[in-house]
């Protein structure tokens, strides 16, 4: 069967990976590609073997079935391949499935493969889709590579050059340009692109981008209006439901936030991060049954993948303790220890969570023994505790009489998160309820002041021309307070300033980049993140 009056594409120089658990289908796809001259074709029958193949070879195209039997499905393979950058910048990912249900199609769309084909596959459709995507990815590959290298200004220049040629991919390029402007902290340019696009068509991606900017500018009601327009008119943009939930939560509408997440999950239930978000909102509302169910689902979805995180386990254990189910909480933490047995930090946090679990199950002596064993690490490595786990420890530390560890934990928490007034208020309340009101006020003031003093000293030293001393000070401070985004960004700024004066140094580039990336995880909407990435890129120009 030939493509209707169209010549067969020439795939003789292209490499392909077929990921399919059914041998017969592997043969069909091989024969179809062979008709277009393809000879470099590899096969994988499972998700794990596909990832092994992708580690060795950067294919021009991957044809992956959505359902792969036991183990990872195609959606999870694509997510992990992207996370680990196992795909070539020009590589095409075609997802294939016999599944036509709305839930599966929506879930697959969220992973954003380059295209999606439903079985049975015709030669005509396969070749048209492959050729189109290969042509497009080849044109956009230099931009993709620049973005992977965190060279956003270079990527922006490449986008502008292609836009000037009136490329066939104008809308893809405009969307890329707006995303690049957001990444480099240029919110005004991003806004201009989004508004220009909306002036021509009612494009959901442009409206969502504008809503994100409004959210960052704390114009929450305007953001909400844009997001409602998207979620009411397009089921495909499930990211908009996540942003709507985030916006409603910031507006104090937890009921609305939960409904937005539940609606998105009814359309695409296989997203671990969204399940965890639902768990968090439901827990805040006191809907512990929904919270527990969502956290369990999120853990199952992320298990044995690079997306696995310790937080959902801790959160689920916290919810179960609130329901009086200490035994179930202990099982969850035991599961954490097994699922993340090679992660030393996860092992440490699992043992810490055992303290309130043992205490809640009536094992005060066992809790006291474990605390005695962990107390030195808790004081020295308090920065390793997520904020909510620090508060989980407060009651047990008070009940077991370990004030020294309590003070160390909250001093570190507040120094790392001195720009979060909610944490300071919670600590003051906690100490007041324990009959230590004055001590709580003093601890909050001193912890906040210590972090600010370090940054002020760094600024003063740099202004006095003592840049090396300033770098030494902030480097030591970042080691002690690795969760303070403002401190990390200040340190990155000084590293960049040093290179502007003394020349580019690859070690300092990596140090600054790591600071910026860590800060972005803690403060994803901080405008300085993008600005410093752009400034770091300019150092090499």
Q: In this structure, are residues 19 and 47 in contact, taking their beta carbons and an 8 Å threshold?
A: yes
Q: Rounded distance, CA 145 to CA 164, Å?
A: 20
**Closest of 449, 464, 525, 455 to residue 492, by C-alpha:** 455
**Closest of 14, 12, 95 to residue 57, by C-alpha:** 14
Domain boundary among 101, 116, 147: 147
C-alpha triplet 289, 292, 296: angle, nearest 5°: 140
With tokens 């709305």, the residue in question is 102
pLDDT in tens, 332-388: 999 999 999 999 999 999 999 999 999 998 889 999 999 999 999 999 989 899 999
Q: What is the pLDDT averaged over residues 223-241?
A: 86
Q: What is the pLDDT averaged over residues 179-193?
A: 90
Size of the chain, expressed as the number of residues it contains = 541
Examine the pLDDT at 173 and tell me if it is beyond 90. Answer: yes
Q: Rounded distance, CA 227 to CA 239, Å?
A: 10
Rg (CA), the chain: 26
C-alpha triplet 409, 455, 384: angle, nearest 5°: 25
pLDDT in tens, 78-103: 988 998 899 999 999 999 988 655 55
The CATH number of the domain where 50 resides is what? 3.40.50.2300
pLDDT at 238: 86
The CATH number of the domain where 529 resides is what? 1.25.40.10
Judged on CB neighbours under 10 Å (0-12, 13-18, 19+), 225 is middle
pLDDT at 539: 85
> Does the residue 485 lie in any domain?
yes
N- to C-terminal Cα separation, the chain:
53
What are 347's two structure tokens? 């092992």
Q: In this structure, are residues 177 and 160 in contact, taking their beta carbons and an 8 Å threshold?
A: yes
Q: Rounded distance, CA 265 to CA 243, Å?
A: 14
pLDDT tier, 112 (very low <50, low <70, confident <90, very high otherwise): confident
φ, ψ dihedrals at 379, nearest 5°: -70, -40
> Does the residue 105 lie in any domain?
yes
Q: Rounded distance, CA 178 to CA 167, Å?
A: 17
> Does the residue 438 lie in any domain?
no
Q: Rounded distance, CA 516 to CA 535, Å?
A: 11
Q: Rounded distance, CA 469 to CA 239, Å?
A: 44
Q: Rounded distance, CA 252 to CA 326, Å?
A: 31
Dihedral class, residue 510 (left if φ above 0, else alpha if ψ from -120 to 50, else beta) = alpha
Q: In this structure, are residues 387 and 423 in contact, taking their beta carbons and an 8 Å threshold?
A: yes
> Does the residue 306 lie in any domain?
no
Domain boundary among 129, 147, 165: 147
Total domains present in the chain: 2
> Does the residue 321 lie in any domain?
no
Q: What is the pLDDT averaged over residues 6-16?
A: 90
Domain boundary among 125, 147, 169: 147
C-alpha triplet 421, 427, 433: angle, nearest 5°: 135
Classify strands 15-19 and 115-118 as parallel, antiparallel or unpaired.
Answer: unpaired
pLDDT tier, 182 (very low <50, low <70, confident <90, very high otherwise): confident
> Does the residue 357 lie in any domain?
no
User: Mean pLDDT score of the chain, rounded to an integer?
Assistant: 91
Q: Rounded distance, CA 92 to CA 63, Å?
A: 8
Examine the pLDDT at 229 and tell me if it is beyond 70. Answer: yes
What are 115's two structure tokens? 């295209």
Examine the pLDDT at 453 and tell me if it is beyond 70. Answer: yes
pLDDT in tens, 237-267: 788 999 999 999 999 999 999 999 999 998 8
pLDDT at 236: 67
Q: Rounded distance, CA 527 to CA 301, Å?
A: 32
Q: Rounded distance, CA 297 to CA 426, Å?
A: 30
3-class SS of residue 490: helix
Name the residue range of residue 25's domain: 15-147
> Does the residue 170 lie in any domain?
no
> Does the residue 120 lie in any domain?
yes
The four Cα atoms 297, 300, 302, 303 give a dihedral, to 10 degrees, of 160
Q: Rounded distance, CA 20 to CA 45, Å?
A: 5
Q: Rounded distance, CA 509 to CA 284, Å?
A: 40
Q: Rounded distance, CA 429 to CA 437, Å?
A: 8
């Amino acid at each position: 069967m030939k493509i209707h009056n169209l010549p067969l594409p020439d795939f003789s120089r292209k490499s392909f990976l077929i990921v399919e658990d059914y041998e017969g289908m592997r043969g069909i796809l091989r024969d179809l590609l062979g008709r277009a001259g393809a000879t470099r074709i590899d096969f994988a029958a499972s998700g794990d073997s596909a990832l092994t193949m992708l580690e060795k070879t950067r294919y021009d195209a991957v044809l992956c079935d959505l359902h792969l039997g036991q183990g990872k499905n195609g959606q999870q393979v694509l997510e992990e391949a992207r996370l680990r950058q196992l795909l070539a910048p020009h590589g095409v990912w075609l997802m294939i499935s016999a599944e036509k249900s709305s839930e599966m199609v929506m879930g697959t769309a969220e992973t954003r493969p380059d295209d999606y084909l439903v079985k049975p596959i015709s030669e005509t459709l396969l070749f048209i889709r492959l050729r189109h995507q290969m042509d497009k990815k080849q044109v956009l590959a230099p931009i993709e590579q620049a973005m992977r290298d965190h060279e956003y200004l270079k990527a922006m220049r490449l986008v502008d050059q292609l836009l000037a040629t009136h490329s066939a991919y104008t809308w893809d390029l405009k969307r890329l340009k707006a995303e690049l402007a957001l990444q480099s902290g240029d919110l005004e340019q991003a806004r201009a692109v989004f508004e220009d696009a909306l002036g021509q068509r009612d494009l959901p991606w442009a409206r969502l981008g504008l809503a994100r900017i409004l959210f960052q500018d704390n114009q929450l009601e305007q953001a909400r209006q844009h997001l409602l327009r998207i979620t009411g008119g397009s089921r495909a943009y499930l990211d908009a439901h996540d942003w709507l939930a985030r916006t409603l939560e910031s507006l104090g509408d937890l009921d609305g936030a939960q409904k937005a997440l539940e609606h998105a999950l009814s359309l695409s239930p296989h997203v671990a991060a969204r399940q965890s978000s639902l768990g968090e909102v439901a827990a805040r509302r006191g809907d512990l049954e929904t919270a527990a169910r969502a956290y369990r689902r999120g853990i199952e979805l992320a298990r044995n993948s690079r997306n696995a995180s310790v937080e959902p386990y801790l959160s689920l254990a916290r919810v179960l303790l609130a329901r009086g189910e200490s035994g179930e909480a202990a099982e969850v933490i035991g599961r954490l220890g097994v699922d993340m047995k090679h992660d030393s930090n996860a092992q440490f946090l699992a043992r810490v969570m055992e303290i309130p679990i043992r205490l809640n199950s009536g094992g005060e002596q066992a809790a006291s023994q474990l605390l005695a064993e962990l107390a030195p690490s808790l004081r020295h490595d308090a920065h390793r505790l997520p904020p909510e786990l620090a508060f989980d420890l407060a009651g047990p530390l008070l009940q077991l009489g370990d004030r020294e560890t309590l003070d160390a934990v909250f001093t570190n928490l507040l120094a790392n998160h001195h720009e979060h007034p909610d944490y300071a208020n919670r600590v003051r309340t906690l100490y007041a309820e324990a009959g230590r009101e004055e001590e709580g006020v003093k601890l909050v003031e001193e912890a906040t002041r210590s972090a600010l003093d370090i940054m002020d000293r760094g600024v003063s030293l740099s202004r006095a021309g003592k840049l090396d001393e300033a770098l030494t000070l902030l480097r030591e401070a970042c080691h002690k307070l690795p969760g303070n985004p403002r401190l990390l960004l200040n340190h990155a700024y000084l590293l960049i300033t040093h290179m502007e004066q003394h020349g580019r140094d690859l070690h300092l580039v990596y140090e600054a980049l790591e600071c910026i990336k860590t800060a972005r995880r803690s403060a994803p909407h901080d405008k300085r993140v993008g600005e410093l990435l752009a400034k770091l890129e300019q150092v090499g120009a």
